[in-house]
Amino acid sequence: MNEPLVSVEGVEVHFPIKRGAVLDRTVGHVRAVDGVSLEIWPGETYGLVGESGCGKTTLGKAILRMIKTTRGRIVFDGIDLSTLRGEDLRRTRSRMQMIFQDPLSSLDPRQSVESILLEALRAHQRARGRAWTRERLRELLSAVGLPAMSLRKYPHEFSGGQCQRIGIARALAVQPDLIVADEPVSALDVSIRAQMVNLLAELQQEFGLTYLFIAHDLAVVRHIADRVGVMYLGQLVEETRADQLYATPGHPYTRALLSAVPVPDPVVEDRRERILLTGDVPSPVAPPPGCRFHTRCPWRQADGCGSVQPILHATADGHWVACHYAEQIKAGRIRGRAAPPAHPNIA
């Protein structure tokens, strides 16, 4: 475990905004990912959270090279992906797979489960003789908890959770090292979300997988992530071990996200303070100067926040926060418009 499996180095993904009759004029850029660096270690689950539009999916797709980066490098298992072409690129890419948010629409409705899985096996030249293939299909279904008779069925014959299991089996078919799970449970019924998270955790153990687990919601990643990165407007504003993030959130944005996580105990729920973020998320076409979060930050200070961009700095071992006033806020020396919550769900 001396080398990260994935190393994201100063990555930017800017989408051009085209105008004009033939869309030949670039009038600006959506700065979807705007200078992110992070490392994902073999066997770990890295949870990536943040509000809608902050660039999570774009970063995930950039790692898998489904979209090109504007700047920066992505190194997978020691290899800079941008240097690979043809067969080498295809082979390396097959070591990374994605699971999507909407399980049904990520499956071709005209293909049976058997042909979906066979296609995945063949695309990566892992299909061998018939007996081997049959056995492999059986193993895949059993790994994700679907009966063997599912092979002859079509996606619409399954529930959302079962479709997600098919998507997971498809991802596993090529024996990947890394799985980017993009909000894999958000579209599912609340009652089966925990099951799905547990299944992913079991598969991780069984197959030695590494996960980039993307979610809106801090409650979901809490149960599965080893470390969590919090994104805001294309940038990472905090990164730390999952338990540390929930116990001592360092960035005002993380505190706000945490205060929105429901607490099961109704008495605690009634008493605890909430940080309501005012205003919309600013546009990633023209992000605010200084700290991108300052326009909505309850702890905003006149000095620095609106003019100087904070960089990630360590506030504790392995705990990185991009906020000029993180230490003062933590020590209670600066009061926000709502008092900083100690998250009551943490004993």
Ligand X SMILES: Nc1ncnc2c1ncn2[C@@H]1O[C@H](COP(=O)(O)OP(=O)(O)OP(=O)(O)O)[C@@H](O)[C@H]1O
The piece of 21-29, 52-60, 123-131, 242-250 that touches Mg ion (CB under 5 A) is: 52-60
216 binds, among ligand X, Mg ion, none (CB under 5 to 8 A by kind): ligand X
Q: Is 57 in the site for ligand X (CB under 6 A)?
A: yes
Packing angle, helices 113-123 and 160-172, rounded to 10: 20
Around Cβ 30, how many Cβ atoms within 10 Å? Answer: 18
The first and second tokens of residue 259, run together, are 């205060």
Q: Distance (Å, rounded) from C-alpha 192 to C-alpha 64?
A: 28
CB atoms within 10 A of CB 180: 29
Assess 284 for contact with ligand X (CB under 6 A).
Answer: yes
Tokens linked to 13: 């993904």
Q: Which is nearer to ligand X, 28 or 344 (CB)?
A: 28
- Which range binds ligand X by CB under 6 A, 55-63, 112-120, 167-175, 327-335? 55-63
Structure tokens at 278: 């005012």
Closer by beta carbon to Mg ion, 57 or else 204: 57
Reading across the β-sheet that carries 6-19, which strands appear in turn?
Answer: 25-40, 6-19, 71-76, 79-80
Q: Does 57 bind Mg ion (CB under 5 A)?
A: yes
Q: How many amino acids of this chain bind ligand X (CB under 6 A)? A: 13
Instruction: Closer to ligand X by CB, 50 or 103: give it.
Output: 50
Q: Which of 7, 58, 94, 315 binds ligand X (CB under 6 A)?
A: 58
Nearer to Mg ion, 57 or 94 (CB): 57
| Contact pattern for ligand X over residues 1 through 20, marking x by CB under 6 A | --------------x-----
- Give the contact letters, 14-53, x = binds to ligand X (CB under 6 A), - = no: -x--------------x-x-----------------x-xx
287 binds ligand X (CB under 6 A): no
203-242 binders of ligand X (CB under 6 A): 216
- 52 binding partner (options ligand X, Mg ion, none; Cβ < 5 to 8 Å by kind): ligand X
Residue (32 or 151) nearer to ligand X, CB:
32
For residue 130, what are its two tokens? 């018939």
Nearer to ligand X, 232 or 325 (CB): 232
Binding residues for ligand X restricted to 102-161, rule: CB under 6 A? none
15, 193 Cβ separation under 8 angstroms: no
User: Out of Mg ion, ligand X, none, which partner does residue 32 contact, by CB within 5 to 8 A per kind?
Assistant: ligand X
Residue 196 interacting with ligand X (CB under 6 A): no
Give the one entry of Mg ion, ligand X, none that residue 313 binds, where binding means its C-beta sits below a cut-off of 5 to 8 angstroms depending on kind: none
Task: Report the interface residues with Mg ion, using CB under 5 A.
Answer: 57
Task: Report the interface residues with ligand X, using CB under 6 A.
Answer: 15, 30, 32, 50, 52-58, 216, 284
